[in-house]
A and B are shown apart, each in its own frame.
Chain A
């Protein structure tokens, strides 16, 4: 095992344990934890047996193992970015809705006082 895999493994274990911690304190659902577990497990396998990625690469027709990892990581990052974007968008809309309801409510109260 080279130095890169060593530190890679430590990082993965750390990230995985964080996810587990969030499940334990009910901040993350089991479904989300499963999603991250699949990703971190794949990372562990590839870190310990890098040759697997080469096999996978030739299987799906991409030249080198390292390329497969980069492609998949990019896809994953784009997907996660999209998720975060959509999530923020929803929150923004919800905030607007709240602010709107409160505005109309306050006006109601004011005009009743008159």
Chain B
């Protein structure tokens, strides 16, 4: 099986190299692992550094957002015959040790999608209380709106089978894609499973990461699109 590790990166020159070198070189049941970095109009050396580290680099000439970047990676992976895609953050928050457990259920053909969760056994390191509350509201919101029950709605560490990639049609270019993925899993009745993962909040990731107030914008956008669809 061919695995693509898709990394959406926007101005991550400080962490892209260490992220890439932390990725596993060998995994059970996988005979080819290719890191694919989608450099989303970064104004720093993210793209160059990723190429130096041996990743395939897809370059967005202008910044289109994480959702748009992931879809570029997905389209590429489907086009070039990958069987499996893992999405991984470039800012050092994800742990590569979590990848084997994440892909196992898909390699074994048990489910089409696995979703990382920081609220299932393993933990989130240095996560603020406000973020915890926002994520909890996200869980409730998602259960009501998309009728899918998960413990962590906005975790960027996920794995998809080829079939799942061909089914899920991402429309949201920005951060709303996380809710959209769950919505589509539910709508298309794709089989999925949550896998415990560790998310590390470092000073670097906190300074670069999302504001909790983003959550409101995400909720409104999702509601709007649910209504007009």
Find out whether the CB atom of A100 lies under 8 angstroms from the CB atom of B57: no
* Interface residue A103 (Cβ < 8 Å from any Cβ of B): yes
From known contacts A103-B38, A104-B79, A107-B76, infer whether A96 and B68 are also in contact, taking CB-CB under 8 Å: yes
Find out whether the CB atom of A107 lies under 8 angstroms from the CB atom of B58: yes
Find out whether the CB atom of B56 lies under 8 angstroms from the CB atom of A100: no
From known contacts A92-B173, A96-B68, A96-B173, infer whether A103 and B60 are also in contact, taking CB-CB under 8 Å: yes
Query: Complex: how many Å from CA A111 to CA B59?
Result: 13
Among B125-174, those with CB < 8 Å from A are 171, 173
Query: Complex: how many Å from CA A18 to CA B107?
Result: 63
| Least CB distance, B9 to chain A, in whole angstroms | 13
Chain B residues near A100 (CB-CB < 8 A): 60, 64, 68, 71-72, 75
Chain B residues near A99 (CB-CB < 8 A): 41, 60-62, 64, 68, 72
| Least CB distance, B78 to chain A, in whole angstroms | 11
Chain A residues near B76 (CB-CB < 8 A): 104, 107
* Interface residue A95 (Cβ < 8 Å from any Cβ of B): yes
| Least CB distance, A12 to chain B, in whole angstroms | 34
Q: How many residues of A contact B (CB 8 A)?
A: 12
Chain B residues near A64 (CB-CB < 8 A): none
Give the interface centre of A95, A106, A107 by most chain B CB atoms within 10 Å.
A107
Q: Which of B41, B64, B75 contacts A104 (CB 8 A)?
A: B75
Find out whether the CB atom of B173 lies under 8 angstroms from the CB atom of A104: no
From known contacts A95-B64, A96-B64, A96-B68, infer whether A103 and B59 are also in contact, taking CB-CB under 8 Å: yes
Chain B residues near A104 (CB-CB < 8 A): 58, 72, 75-76, 79
Query: Complex: how many Å from CA A104 to CA B76?
Result: 7
Among B52-100, those with CB < 8 Å from A are 56-62, 64, 68, 71-72, 75-76, 79
Query: Complex: how many Å from CA A106 to CA B75?
Result: 14
Chain A residues near B38 (CB-CB < 8 A): 103
A-B contact pairs, 24 of them (CB 8 A): A95-B62, A95-B64, A96-B64, A96-B68, A96-B173, A99-B60, A99-B62, A100-B60, A100-B68, A100-B71, A100-B72, A100-B75, A102-B61, A103-B58, A103-B59, A103-B72, A104-B58, A104-B72, A104-B75, A104-B76, A104-B79, A107-B56, A107-B59, A111-B56
